[in-house]
Structure 1
Amino acid sequence: MSGSALAVVLVIGGVVVAGVAWGIIALVRRQQYIKSLRERGWTFVNSPDFGAVARLTNPPFGLGFRRDPDDQISGRTASGRPFQVIEYKSERWKGWVAMVSLSRRLPELWVTGGETQVRYGVEATMVPPPPALGPGWQVGTLDPAYAAELLTPQVCNQLNGLAGGTTGLNLGIDADQLTVLDPPRKEVDQLGPWLEQLAAVADAIDATPLDHRVQPEQQPRFSFYHHPDWYWVDVDDSLLQGTPVSRSGHNHRTADVIRGRDGDGPPFVALTHHWQTTRTETSTDSEGRTTTRTVTENHSEAILGFQLPVRMPELTVAGRSFGRGISFESERFNDQFKVTSPSTKFAYDVIHPRQMEYLMATSPAPFRIADDWVWFSPGQHHETVIAHSSRFLREFLAGVPRFVWRDLGLADSPYPPLDAVTAPGGR
């Protein structure tokens, strides 16, 4: 063996030995850490199931289709308040979250400070922090009056104490859990006192007169932020029989199936459809020898459908493409949309001037009414796409005139115009 080759072997061997040594050190440290947790009377679970976070729906929870809890530390504080510190990974976030239990289920509230960013996905109005909280803080809420009731001087004092003289704190209320991102979990001697301070914040919140703010109990399941009636199914291949999926190829299957509804809107089903196609390719080399190989390709499509309370004539609304659809009185609308239907009268009844204005203002994904379903072509399977289509369709259906619903056999419109939004209206 040459000198250079021997040197390479020695370098590689040294790297391998160093890697093994570092792995052993990391394993020993991990075991010592777990031992120190258990010596405090806490429980450590290496791979908790989804039930550990199933009741949590506010960010970082409640977002995405991939949600994986990992190392979990749980126990009780000195006052007997349950807590857990858990590693959590989703499609949009990875890190550690600490939480202690509150005595009541309360609306969401966010308190962040310093250079700490508001959590990804949070939908809240930022309001001025109370004077007792001090400068450098941000408060997010859906109801400013609720934030004023909760952030009493006592609660603010405890928050300042938890921050430890800085405002690098990211805290939120998720029903009956007080959650904080990035707790000091690496050193058990720091984590214990810090959890006691977090429990003191919870004590102060529990002491506020907020019984009139208590939220209803929700079923612990894979649910979605701000969509309490959505739920995760994951796989339901029976849906392939009744949905407008591509029928070509083989190995058809569903994934990421979601069912639900928003308020009094129509119920929906959303999923990703996967399938494969196979073809044979034949080639001839320079010597005239022929070879054949089989090529398998993977395909997927997003499916989103909303079920109506009654069968309706077919109607398709899509962007402009080759050819013209039914002509409406607005050339601007005709330039933007192509509407087709075997019943021109039905199309004119449903796509009236207010409906045209609404369609041009919202630019929905292409959709088709077929019997008692409305099928969208969303392009991707994502919560925001589902939510946008759900809101659009609810207002679109509110704009269908009452006489149309009556002609279809209903006593009145099942979707009255929504308040606080500009809906197409009805007549």
Structure 2
Amino acid sequence: MVIALLLVVAAIVWGIVALVRRQQYIGSIRERGWSFVNSPTFDAVARLSNPPFGVGFVRKPDDQITGMTATGRPFQVIEYKSAYWSGWVGMVTLSRRLPELWITGGETAPRYGILAHGVVAPAQLGPGWQVGAMDPAFAHEVMTSELCVQLNALAAGQPGVNLGVDGDQIVVLNPPRKELDQLGVWLEQLGAIAAAIDATPLDHWIQPEPEPRLRFYHHPDWYWIGADDNLLQYTPVKGGGYGHRTDEVIRGRDGDGPPFVAFKHHWKTSHTESYTDSNGNTQTRTVVNNHSEAILGFQLPARMPQLSVGPKGFRNGISFESEAFNDRFAVSSADTKFAYDVIHPRQMEYLMATPGAPFRIVEDWVWFTPGEHSQPAIAFCSAYLRGFLGWVPRFVWRNLGLPDTPYPSAESTPVS
């Protein structure tokens, strides 16, 4: 008991010391003319979509420091947590929105989820640097001698530079935020990097201003809803139980593909069970079980007959002319002729070459069984379905009342 009491007292003392130090730290921030926000809203990062932002559904901005550099350039230092990364991020503002650019130095690894082409780093940077961009031409134009000088200056004070351009922000991981004097110098170095980029003639690379909403990396037409329990009224969620609710609702589309809705459905069930207590008496108790499932649906521009496509299981489904296809897939439909029209030889080739999650067409919706609710799963099913719809013959769409195919095949002319 004495030891337990001492541990409690030590914990209280440690908590008081930590609180005092935090208040002193916040006071020092404000003495510099900077601002501190304990619980910033998503607006703090809504304009950002490149990793570590824009990836996954679990995102949490925390302590935030904002202010101006000596040259009047806005900056932000913020703690950020997601399912894939957590830590501190520092950023300063550019004069223009530019394409994404990635620069790492030292032994720093590229950030999780980056999609970019590697570009040969300029000789002025020296060994150990990596440069990446979606368009190598942009990287070649932006990597001027002055920018290389400023990057080397930043690396001299912070081994392991991890820098990116995200719209009109230069975003760098792991700022030295504990020592405010060091942080101030570091932010001025970021300002010098921003000035070098601003001084480069890059107006022909200016990117459009996005809508101010929670965004997704390389999916500009996806957007976060959060919760929308009205979806439970028309989506194929499991029934029974109680406490049905939705969360992590995402809507959007990819290019000319069909719009989608994706979310997690949660509900509860309960049952009564008997047990024997410590006195040997039989008692009953209610056990509550929590359940969840991933729901993903794409809305079509016309109603179709029911059709389901999935891996071969215990059911055989409709038989097609390809035995290889029949051995791998089970297809069922309320309209056999429709199934034969849609699952033609080239469609079978596509499905066998691009295996995806099972799906079923119900009126004007395509419902997937993705197995998980995640950004990669949604993106994969979106691309998979878009390819499938591209191989639906034109005459099928015309029979459904459309003037032509709404989804031309990217590989060749769709079957007429």
Q: TM-score range by the shorter chain?
A: over 0.9
**Letter of the 2:76 counterpart:** Q
SS at match of 2:237: coil
Out of 344, 356, 381, the residue aligned to residue 364 of structure 1 is 356
SS at match of 2:8: helix
Q: Does 1:376 align with 2:365?
A: no
Corresponding residue number in structure 2 for 1:255: 247
SS at match of 1:164: helix
Residue 278 (structure 1) shift: 2.2
Call closer, same or farther: CA 1:241–1:32 in 2, change over 3 Å. same
Question: Is the Cα–Cα contact under 8 Å of residues 417 and 426 in structure 1 kept in the other structure?
Answer: no
Corresponding residue number in structure 2 for 1:211: 203
Corresponding residue number in structure 2 for 1:184: 176
Out of 33, 45, 52, the residue aligned to residue 37 of structure 2 is 45
Residue 184 (structure 1) shift: 0.9
Out of 15, 19, 33, the residue aligned to residue 23 of structure 1 is 15
Call closer, same or farther: CA 1:88–1:275 in 2, change over 3 Å. same
Q: Write the deviation string for residues 121-175 of structure 1: whole angstroms up to 9, x where unpaired.
A: 1111222111122211011111111100111111111111111166510000110
Question: Is the Cα–Cα contact under 8 Å of residues 395 and 424 in structure 1 kept in the other structure?
Answer: no
Q: Does 1:201 align with 2:193?
A: yes
Corresponding residue number in structure 1 for 2:141: 149
| TM-score in terms of structure 1 length | 0.93
Residue 17 (structure 1) shift: 3.3
Call closer, same or farther: CA 1:278–1:22 in 2, change over 3 Å. closer
Corresponding residue number in structure 2 for 1:335: 327
Question: Is the Cα–Cα contact under 8 Å of residues 358 and 424 in structure 1 kept in the other structure?
Answer: no
Corresponding residue number in structure 1 for 2:232: 240
**Gaps in structure 2 of 5+ consecutive residues:** none
**Letter of the 2:20 counterpart:** V
Corresponding residue number in structure 2 for 1:136: 128
**Letter of the 2:302 counterpart:** V
Q: Does 1:303 align with 2:295?
A: yes
d(CA) in 2 for partners of 1:163 and 1:289?
A: 71
Q: Write the deviation string for residues 61-98 of structure 1: whole angstroms up to 9, x where unpaired.
A: 11121211111111000110000100111111110000
Out of 112, 117, 133, the residue aligned to residue 109 of structure 2 is 117
Residue 380 (structure 1) shift: 0.8
Corresponding residue number in structure 1 for 2:305: 313
SS at match of 1:83: strand
Corresponding residue number in structure 2 for 1:75: 67
Question: 342-351 or 376-385: which moved more?
Answer: 342-351
d(CA) in 1 for partners of 2:413 and 2:377?
A: 21
**Gaps in structure 1 of 5+ consecutive residues:** 1-7
Q: Write the deviation string for residues 386-424 of structure 1: whole angstroms up to 9, x where unpaired.
A: 000001111111111111111111111001122xxx479
Q: Give the aligned length.
A: 416
**Letter of the 1:344 counterpart:** T
Residue 34 (structure 1) shift: 1.6
Question: Is the Cα–Cα contact under 8 Å of residues 262 and 297 in structure 2 kept in the other structure?
Answer: yes
Residue 426 (structure 1) shift: 3.2
Question: Is the Cα–Cα contact under 8 Å of residues 349 and 401 in structure 1 kept in the other structure?
Answer: yes
Corresponding residue number in structure 1 for 2:51: 59
d(CA) in 2 for partners of 1:35 and 1:256?
A: 37
Question: Is the Cα–Cα contact under 8 Å of residues 222 and 232 in structure 1 kept in the other structure?
Answer: yes
Q: Write the deviation string for residues 177-235 of structure 1: whole angstroms up to 9, x where unpaired.
A: 00000011111111111111100000000111111111111112112111111111111
Out of 82, 88, 109, the residue aligned to residue 90 of structure 1 is 82
RMSD: 1.9
d(CA) in 2 for partners of 1:57 and 1:137?
A: 24
Q: Does 1:278 align with 2:278?
A: no
Residue 14 (structure 1) shift: 3.4
d(CA) in 2 for partners of 1:157 and 1:290?
A: 78
d(CA) in 1 for partners of 2:101 and 2:281?
A: 71
Residue 289 (structure 1) shift: 6.2
Question: Is the Cα–Cα contact under 8 Å of residues 133 and 139 in structure 2 kept in the other structure?
Answer: yes
Call closer, same or farther: CA 1:174–1:284 in 2, change over 3 Å. closer
Question: Is the Cα–Cα contact under 8 Å of residues 252 and 276 in structure 1 kept in the other structure?
Answer: yes
Identity %: 67
**Letter of the 2:209 counterpart:** E
d(CA) in 2 for partners of 1:72 and 1:44?
A: 6
Question: Is the Cα–Cα contact under 8 Å of residues 398 and 423 in structure 1 kept in the other structure?
Answer: no
Question: 98-107 or 27-36: which moved more?
Answer: 27-36
Call closer, same or farther: CA 1:343–1:209 in 2, change over 3 Å. same
d(CA) in 2 for partners of 1:259 and 1:42?
A: 37
Q: Does 1:104 align with 2:101?
A: no
Question: Is the Cα–Cα contact under 8 Å of residues 105 and 155 in structure 2 kept in the other structure?
Answer: no
SS at match of 2:167: strand
d(CA) in 2 for partners of 1:180 and 1:256?
A: 28
Corresponding residue number in structure 2 for 1:161: 153
**Letter of the 1:426 counterpart:** V
Q: Write the deviation string for residues 370-399 of structure 1: whole angstroms up to 9, x where unpaired.
A: 110100011111110000000111111111
